[in-house]
Amino acid sequence: MAAGVDDIAIYIPRLYLDATDFAEARGLDPVKLQKGLGVSQMSIVDSNQDPACLAANACLKIMQKNKLSPEDIGRLYVSTESAFDESKAMNSYVIGMLEQVYGQGAFEHCGGVETKFACVSGSYALYDNTNWIRAGEAEGKAALVVVSDIAKYDMGSSGEMTQGAGAVVMLLNDNPRLLAFDPKVTATSIKDEYDFYRPFGKETPIVHGQYSNLLYMIQVRKALEAYKKKVISSGLIKIEPGETILDHMDYIHMHLPYSNMGKKALAYLVRHEWRQLPRWKRILQEIGMEEPVPKDPRGTIESVLSDEEFMAKDHEFTKLFSKTPEYQEVYESKLASSLIASTMIGNLYTASLYLGFRSSLEFEYQKGINLDGKRVGFGSYGSGSSAMVFSGVIQPEYEQVVKDMNLEVEVGQRRKLTWDEYEKLHENKLRPDQSMVHSKKEFVLVEVNTEIETRGERRYIFNE
C-alpha cells in the first residue's frame, strides 16, 4: 500500500529580524550571515505565540485548504524540541485550539503523541504514521504530522545568528498526491552525544556548534550507508559499477539549521560517495590538491576539530570541491531550491528539513521541470544524536498541489523588528497582550497561569 505526503502547509510568524541589522548590532560583517551562513532574515515569534500556536495555525491552514473535517483525521502528531511542558503533550494544546474552531470534542477520536529527538523527531513521526497507514490501521483516515519549533539561542552567542521559528504540517494518507515514501529502506543511526541539548527549565540550548556540524555530517553519512544496504537488499535501486546511491536521488534534502549547512552537508556526503569511484581521479585533478587526512584518522571528533592544520586544509579542499562543475551540477539540480525558504525564514529546527522540501517543490516546479516520478532523498539529523535517511517518489498528481504553492503569499506580510523590539521579545519582557502585531484568523496565546494550583496552564483564543 502506498503511503506518504498528500499536502503540506506552513505557518511562519509575522515578525522577522533582518540579517544586516543583526550584524550591525553585533558588530559582525553582514556578509558572514548572508554569504557565510546563508541567512537573510530570521522569523521571530510575537509575545502572544508559542510553538503550540504555530502548530495549530499550520494545522488549521491544511484542514481548511483541503476542506477536511476532524472525522477525516485519525492521528495528530506534534514533533518539537521547544516543549514547554514536561508531561502534557503539545498535541493536547493543538487539539484544544482546533476544537475552538471545529467544536468541543471534535478530535476526541484522534490519537497521537508529542515526539522529541531534537531536529530529527519529525522524521520519526512521519515514519511511524506512514507505517500506521501501511499497516491498514488508518481505516481510510489521514494523519497530520506537524513539526513546530522556535530556534532561540542565548543573546550574544554564536548560535544567535541562526535563529528562526515556524511550523510545517504534512497530511499523510494512502493515496498521496505529493510523495509516496519508499518502503523498507528507511535507515537510522544513533549515538549518545552532547552536541546540542536543553536541560530542564532552560529556555535556550547549550550548543557546541562546530562539533554539532561535524557530528551531523558523520551521523547522516552512517545512516546513508545503512540506507544503501537496504536499498540494495530490497531491490529498490540497482547501483551499477561507477555509480553512487546519490546518482539515483533526483533531489536531496538536508537538515538546515541554516541554509549553507545543507550545502556543506551535501558536499560532505558527495565527497564520501565519490571517493570510491573512478570519477574521483578527475575531480582531484580539477581541485589540484590531495584530499587532506587528519593526523589521527581514527580519532575522535574533538581530535579532528583540534587538528588545526587538517581543519584549515580540509576547509580549503571543501571550498575547491564545492566549486567543481561536477559538484555545482549536483548542488544546483538536487539541493539549491530547497535552501530558498531557509534563507528568508531561518532555523526551524525539526521543521527545517520539511520547509526545505516545501521550498524545493515550489521552486523546481517554477523552473518548468516535470517532477512526476522523481526520487527525493532526505538526510535528517537531530542532536543528541540521531540521523535518518529515507526517500520517496513524487506522485503523478503532484501538480494539483504544487501549482498553487507560493511561499511569499503563504508566509504573508511580515514586519521587520527594530533591534530594541527584538531584545524585548528575546528577553520575554512583553506580555501576550502587548504583541507587536494583531493577526486575524489565527490562534494566539492569551495567558500562562502563574497561580500555584494552576501554574503553567495556557489559554489560547482564535482571533476573529
> Which CB sits closer to ligand COA, 348 or 417?
348
40 contacts ligand COA (rule: CB under 6 A):
no
- The window from 29-37, 128-136, 387-395, 417-425 that contacts ligand COA (CB under 6 A) reads 29-37
Helix axes 90-102, 51-65, angle to 10 degrees: 40
Tell me which residues in 199-228 interact with ligand COA (CB under 6 A): 207, 209-210, 212-213, 216
Looking at the DSSP assignment, which residues form a beta bridge with residue 460? 445
123 contacts ligand COA (rule: CB under 6 A):
no
4 contacts ligand COA (rule: CB under 6 A):
no
SS (H, E, C) 205-222: CEECHHHHHHHHHHHHHH
Number of Cβ within 10 Å of residue 434's Cβ equals: 12
37 contacts ligand COA (rule: CB under 6 A):
yes
Helix residue spans in 27-102 (DSSP H): 30-31, 51-65, 90-102
96's CB contacts (< 8 A; 6+ apart) are: 460
- The window from 39-47, 56-64, 159-167, 222-230 that contacts ligand COA (CB under 6 A) reads 159-167
The answer to whether the beta carbons of residues 433 and 416 sit under 8 Å apart is no
Peptide bond connecting 380 to the previous residue in cis, omega within 30 degrees of 0: no
Task: Return the residue of 1, 24, 31, 459 that touches ligand COA, per CB under 6 A.
Answer: 31
351 contacts ligand COA (rule: CB under 6 A):
no
> Which CB sits closer to ligand COA, 159 or 166?
159
- The window from 154-162, 167-175, 289-297, 416-424 that contacts ligand COA (CB under 6 A) reads 154-162
383 contacts ligand COA (rule: CB under 6 A):
yes
Please give the grid coordinates belonging to residue 245. Answer: 546511491
> Which CB sits closer to ligand COA, 80 or 130?
80
Number of Cβ within 10 Å of residue 27's Cβ equals: 6
Q: How buried is residue 48: exposed, middle or buried, by Cβ count under 10 Å (0-12/13-18/19+)?
A: buried
Least Cβ distance, residue 302 to ligand COA (angstroms):
15
Least Cβ distance, residue 156 to ligand COA (angstroms):
12
Strands 73-79 and 142-151: parallel
> Which CB sits closer to ligand COA, 207 or 339?
207
> Which CB sits closer to ligand COA, 4 or 122?
122
Least Cβ distance, residue 187 to ligand COA (angstroms):
19
Number of Cβ within 10 Å of residue 204's Cβ equals: 16
Helix axes 279-287, 259-274, angle to 10 degrees: 120
The answer to whether the beta carbons of residues 364 and 251 sit under 8 Å apart is yes
Residues 78 and 212: their CA atoms lie apart, in Å, by 24
**DSSP letter (8 states) at residue 311:** H
257 contacts ligand COA (rule: CB under 6 A):
yes
314's CB contacts (< 8 A; 6+ apart) are: 292
- The window from 25-33, 85-93, 336-344, 424-432 that contacts ligand COA (CB under 6 A) reads 25-33
Task: Return the residue of 24, 35, 366, 412 that touches ligand COA, per CB under 6 A.
Answer: 35
Least Cβ distance, residue 434 to ligand COA (angstroms):
29
> Which CB sits closer to ligand COA, 193 or 399?
193
**Contact residues for ligand COA (CB under 6 A)?**
29, 31-32, 35-37, 158-159, 161-162, 196, 207, 209-210, 212-213, 216, 257, 264, 315, 381, 383
